[in-house]
Amino acid sequence: MTNRRIDLDALSFRIVMTGVALLALVLLAAPTVVVVWVSFTNGYSLKFPPPGYSLRWYVELWNAWQLQFAMMNSLKVALWATGLSILLGVAASLSIARSATLTARVLDSLFLSPLVLPALAFGLSSLMFFSLIGVPVSPLTLVIGHTVVSVPFVVRNTVASLAQMNPALLEASASLGATRWHSFRRITLPLIRPGILAGGFIAFMASFDNVPVSLFLRDAATDMLPIRMWQDLEGKLDVTVAALSGVLIVVTVALMLVMERVAGLSKRLT
């Protein structure tokens, strides 16, 4: 009697938990699968299931110069923002990671604060700032805004890797006569490189995908990819966007697998 009740209890618990988990996993995967699927349609609409299959919308991408132009802009801005984030973020992380001083703690919170702040409010305030000091919006203001919202990812991951590093290694290196620069290059940098790579990768994705900051800080000539796609979707449900999404998904998955190999991405995010 008791045994049976426990079995029922165990069974119902496992069924409910596993069932909900599987449902959630299907929900997580569904949108990605659907976009890739529907991008192979031969029709003009995003009807699901597609009436037939073809590669026509991928071929169409070759002629979609507006999307290509926007993509190049987004890539350039994201590369600049990521480069600046790594340069400034790693330097700042080195100085605040092992320090318990109040200044270091305050700086740490400051550098991470764009993560919780509504990016749209920051975008608007930046536009007000630049117009007040008389600087017109340009690719430069875009890079500055994107760097502010990307740098927290680099700081967070670099600080975490520095915190895991054993300081005795640096002491040993110094006592063996290595200069600080030499110790940094031969010991610190190799140990924190995966953290910097993972942070840089997420920073790049955050910038490439940013809409709220770009909306305010771009000039009329600088079309950005997510904004272009968003506006194309608001107006008409364009199937070319589905093909482009398919390309972006494949590139993202490939980059994710590479980052998992070289930087242990998933371990850094949990």
Q: Which parts of 29-48 interact with other proteins (CB under 8 A)?
A: 29-32, 34-35, 38, 45-48
* Segment near other proteins (CB under 8 A); pick from 55-63, 75-83, 128-136, 191-199: 128-136
Work out which of 79, 174, 191, 264 binds other proteins, going by CB under 8 A. 174
Name the residue nearer to other proteins (CB basis): 68 or 252: 252
User: C-beta of 122: minimal distance to other proteins in Å?
Assistant: 7
Tell which one of 75, 160, 191, 256 touches other proteins (CB under 8 A).
Answer: 256
Distance of alpha carbon 253 from alpha carbon 260, whole angstroms: 10
Which residues touch 224 (CB under 8 Å, ≥6 apart)? 70, 73, 74, 77, 142, 210, 211, 214, 218
Task: Out of 75, 79, 107, 140, name the contact with other proteins by CB under 8 A.
Answer: 107
- Tell which positions 178-207 bind other proteins, by CB under 8 A: 180, 183, 202, 205
Q: Are 67 and 240 in contact (CB under 8 A)?
A: yes
Contact call for residue 112 and other proteins (CB under 8 A): no
Least separation in angstroms between residue 185's CB and other proteins is 14
Question: Which residue, 119, 134, 79, is CA-closest to 214?
Answer: 119
Q: Does 25 bind other proteins (CB under 8 A)?
A: yes
Segment interacting with other proteins, rule: CB under 8 A, options 55-63, 65-73, 126-134, 189-197:
126-134
Q: Considering only residues 59, 72, 117, 262, which one is a binding residue for other proteins as defined by CB under 8 A?
A: 117
